Amino acid sequence: MMGNWSANLETEEYAADRGLILQDAVEAILETTPGHFVNLAVSEAHGHPDSYLIPYLQERFGAAVRIQFIDQCGCGGYVYRVFRPVPTE
């Protein structure tokens, strides 16, 4: 995606399937143009994402992304900003 955007990973299908959160979070990051970020709005149904999502993304992307916790939504979900820096050579 060109520019900054948000991915909604809070719907019922995500609440029922943690693996789908992981899969679609990776896809959202890969779709984000370097130099921009995607906000991941993550369901609270599987507990705090620091325990499963963040380690998974760090293992998958390493230093290729920067992950920042933004806030917990009033609905109970969590918002993370994942920035894809422009590669330098």
The average pLDDT across 6-32 equals 97
Our count of domains for the chain comes to 1
Q: What is the pLDDT of residue 25?
A: 98
Q: Give the model's confidence band at 87: pLDDT under 50 very low, under 70 low, under 90 confident, else very high.
A: confident
Given a cut of 90, whether residue 1 has pLDDT beyond it is no
- Determine the structural domain holding residue 30 and report its residue range: 5-84
- Give the CATH number, domain containing residue 52: 3.30.110
Give me the DSSP letters along 35-81: TEEEEEEE-STTS-GGGTHHHHHHHHHGGG-EEEEEEE-TTS-EEEE
* φ/ψ of residue 69, rounded to 5: -70, 130
pLDDT tens-place string over residues 38-79: 999 999 999 999 999 999 999 999 999 999 999 987 778 999
In a domain, 89, yes or no: no
Nearest to 84 by CA among 21, 4, 23: 4
Strand 5-9 vs strand 66-72: parallel, antiparallel, or unpaired?
A: unpaired
In a domain, 45, yes or no: yes
Given a cut of 90, whether residue 27 has pLDDT beyond it is yes
Q: Give the model's confidence band at 89: pLDDT under 50 very low, under 70 low, under 90 confident, else very high.
A: low
In a domain, 10, yes or no: yes
- At 21, is the secondary structure helix, strand, or coil? helix
